[in-house]
Every structure is written in C-alpha cells, then in structure tokens.
Amino acid sequence: MNSTKDSLFSNHEDIKKLLEIAYELNDIEKIGAVLGWDQETYMPKGGITGRANQLSTLAGIHHEKLTSDRLINAIDRASMTLGEANVYDRSLVRELRRIYDQAVKLPVEFVKRQTEVFSRADQSWQEAKEKSDFRLFADDLKEIVELVRKQAEYFGFTDSPYDALLDIYEPGLTSRKAAEIFKQVKVITGNILEKIEKSEVTINQDFLKRTGLSKKKQWDFGIDILKVMEFDFERGRQDESAHPFSTNFHPHDVRVTTRFTDPFFTSSLFGTIHEGGHGIYEQNVDERLARTVLCEGASLGIHESQSRFWENYVGRSLSFWALCYPELRKTFKRRLKNVSVNDFWRAINAVNPSYTRVEADEVTYNLHVLLRFEIEKDLIEGKIEVEDLPEIWNAKMKEYLGIVPPNDELGVLQDIHWSGGAFGYFPTYTMGNLYAAQMYYTIREKIPGMDAYIAEGNVKFITEFLIKNIYRYGKTFMPDEIILRLTGESLNPEYFEKYLEEKYSKVYKW
C-alpha cells in the first residue's frame, strides 16, 4: 500500500500492475540515495570501499529490473489501455518508457566501462584541480568525451550529438533552442553590465568578508531561514557536507546540506537557501506519487528554477531582508553594527565578474554557463580538442567576463561535472534562471502586494502558490508544459531582462 489516501492513478488492472514494478524500481533508487547521502555526510573515511561495492551491487540490481521484459511488457500493456487513462497514468507510462529506453540503449559493457572511467577521472580531476594542472586530467577527459559521443550515438539524434545529451537533463531541449536562448541572454547581460559600468554607485562588501564568525550562530540562523521558507523539519533535515546538495528518499524525508566557509555568508547562507528551495520542492510533491518515477522535480531546469527563485528572487530581495535583517544583525551584533539593511541588500547584490560560476552574481552567472555551453557543444561535435581547452577557456573568459583566471583550478578545472560525463547538464542552470524570472512575474501578478507579504513574514503564500501550481505534480508535466500552464506562454527570456533591469536599476541607481 502506498498511501492511505485515494490513488491519483486510475484503477485499471494494467496500471496497477505497472505501479507494482514502478514502486520496486523507485524504492531501489531511493535506497541508493540514502547510501549517497550517508557517504557525503557521516560516513567515516574507511567506509568508501564497502560503500562502492554496495552502490555497485545496487546499480546492478536496478539495471536488471529496469531492463527486464517484465517492465517493458507492463509498459506496453498499460500503453494500450491509455484511452481510459488519466494524466498521471500517461505520465507514468511516458517516464517509465523514457528511463527504460535510456537503459536498454546502453550495452552493459559500455556502462561498466563508463563507471570505471568516471571513477578514475574523479580522482584525476581532483588531483589536477589541487595541483592546478589540466594535463593531469586531460587523458581521462579525452576518454570521457569519446564515451559521451558514443552515448549520444546510442541514444540517437538528428542534428547534433549534443542534442542527445541535453535531452537527458532537460527533456525537449536542443542545441538549436539552447543557442537561441543563450544569444538572447548574452545581449541582455551585456546591456545590464553596460549600465552597471556607467553607474557611479560603489558598493561596500567588506563586512561580508570578515572571518571568524561562530559556526553555531550561522547554523541556527540558517535553520531559522529554512523555517521561514516553510521547509518542514518533521519531514526533512539539514546536515553538513563538503559540497551542499539536496536529496530525498520520500516526499516526507528530504535532506538538504550546507557547509560553512570563512568568510561569511555568500557561500553558506545562500547555499542554505538554494538547497532549501530544492528541498521544499521535493517535500511538496503529492505523496500519492511517492515510490514512482513521477515523484521528483520535473527536470533539472525546473528544479534549478526553484532553488534560484528562493535564493535570488526571494533571498536577495529587499523585502526578505526587511524581514530577516533585524535577526541577523542581532546575531552578528559587532560585525553588522554600522550596516543598514539597505547597505546589506546592496552588498549581497553587487555585481563583479568572478573566476568561478558558483561565486558569480545574478548578472554574470549565465555568462559562465554560456561559455561552458559553447565549449561542450564544440567538443562533442569534434570541432575543438581536449588539449586546447585551457586556452579556449581563458580566451572566452576574457571575451565574456573581461578577466582571465590565474590558473586552471579557477578556470577550466573548477567544476566536477565533466569528470562524471555530465555534458549537457550546465545549460539547465541558465534554464533555471530564466524559468524563475518568468514565474516570478506570474506570481507577482497573481498575488499583488507580494513584497509586502514577504516583509511581514508571510512567505507561506508563495510556498503555497508554488505547491499548488508546480510542486505537487512532480514529474507529471514536462518542463515546457509547466511553464506554459503556469505563465500562459513558453519560455521567454525577456522576463529575465525585465527582472534584471528592475532590480539593478535600484541597486545601481540608474
């Protein structure tokens, strides 16, 4: 039994049989998530060998069940009865077929080879990053690019092999569509940066960079902020990990993590809010979707839209800090003595080009993704070579951001994704930013006086709106459908432009 409530799925025998298999498959995935969470939070150093074996055994079991005749037969049977089906049945069949197809298209030997190479590359990337020497990673990366191209072939594509990869992370996204979007984003960003450059406002960020803040005070404040966002600690928790992440084992068991960095805030606090955004999304998927492939965020892009919405549209707004700043100031009395809420708000919104994506402000952030998108596409299409990457990287940094990283660590080696073969993943970051902007204007339209509500501490109405329109459906709707249903139009980057203009004209006073 999945839940005491009525099922969202129809009562057809073929759907019920399919659900039985779907539940088992999803349980196995969630078990893997528990193992992963433990590995990143509490597992002692010595545990790594055993954990690798456990994960590998579990992956084998999952793959066997996912590619079984039992599953595909049940999918096929259920497909034939879709005439009587509801939207949940249809989406269930669609998503199960999708993961089945992906799984059977890759030969077992190929998957094993991937696992080996990724595991080796994870080590060599780490070493290369530590020593800031791209050459230590180059050979493994070459092999990965070959594997990823091969994977694209297995999956199949029409225009570019990169399309097959984009589709893994953001169903429906193509190179052509992404290129159009990035073209717009580039213009938008350029315009805003020009205005900022002309501004005579100078923003003091020194007080954000002071070191030695009490970890406990930061932790407690972060927990309070998560509560403001309506993150439910009866159905989730926060722990520490080297890199913040969110994961879930059930809508009622969602785990987010944070880390503490000296100096202050930019990483820790906004990391907490960001993961909290992912977390409340997962906490509020309808529990009747639990144990199925539909019980998770609609796509990486839609997921990121929520983390970024909470981090930036709420978390870096003046009204949010009108609410939370008094408490923050009380917590860090000495440090924030002479800092007004306006000073603070300006400081957390200052725009400065940075070497790394994760430290980027809202305006320059997408340039990091654009750069990565162009490089990935050229690499997968065979237009550039792995050994030339540092040079190409630095040239593009110079062109788009006007700065050149002093070394590979802060340049081409900054992100982990490539070592795990995650090509096609980065564009979802920008998709998330754009979705978030478009949603933001819909919410403001539907809930007049939203800023005042936030300032009063009544953040609940935003969460409830998002639950009602996005969260509860999980993966029932495709990314495109979600944005269309919610905002009345397809993805439109102009909302992002409007948002940047509106916000930064206040920050930089033009």
How far apart CA 477 and CA 396 sit, in angstroms, is 36
CA-to-CA separations, 235 to 249, 253, 274, 275, in angstroms, rounded: 10, 5, 18, 15
CB of 28: closest distance to a copy of itself in angstroms? 7
Closest CA to 426 of 303, 312, 308, 300: 300
H or E segment at 256?
strand 253-258
- Cβ neighbours around 87 below 10 Å, total: 12
- Nearer Cβ to a copy of itself, position 26 or 487? 26
CB of 316: closest distance to a copy of itself in angstroms? 28
- Cβ neighbours around 31 below 10 Å, total: 16
**Residues at the interface with a copy of itself (CB under 8 A):** 2-3, 23-24, 27-28, 30-31, 34-35, 38, 42-47, 49-51, 53-54, 56-58, 60-61, 232-237, 239, 249-250, 252-253, 290-291
* Measured distance between the N- and C-terminal CA atoms of the chain, rounded to whole angstroms: 59
- Cβ neighbours around 195 below 10 Å, total: 14
Question: Active-site residue among 143, 275, 296, 311?
Answer: 275
Q: Could you confirm whether 275 is annotated as catalytic?
A: yes
b (16+ CB within 10 A) / e for 424-447: bbbbbbbbbbbbbbbbbbbbeeee
Residue 286 structure tokens: 């309808």
Residue 483 structure tokens: 């944005």
- Nearer Cβ to a copy of itself, position 46 or 83? 46
CB-based contacts of 341: which residues, under 8 Å, 6+ apart?
318, 321, 322, 325
- Nearer Cβ to a copy of itself, position 255 or 377? 255
- Residue 444 β-bridge partners: none
Give catalytic residue positions. Answer: 275
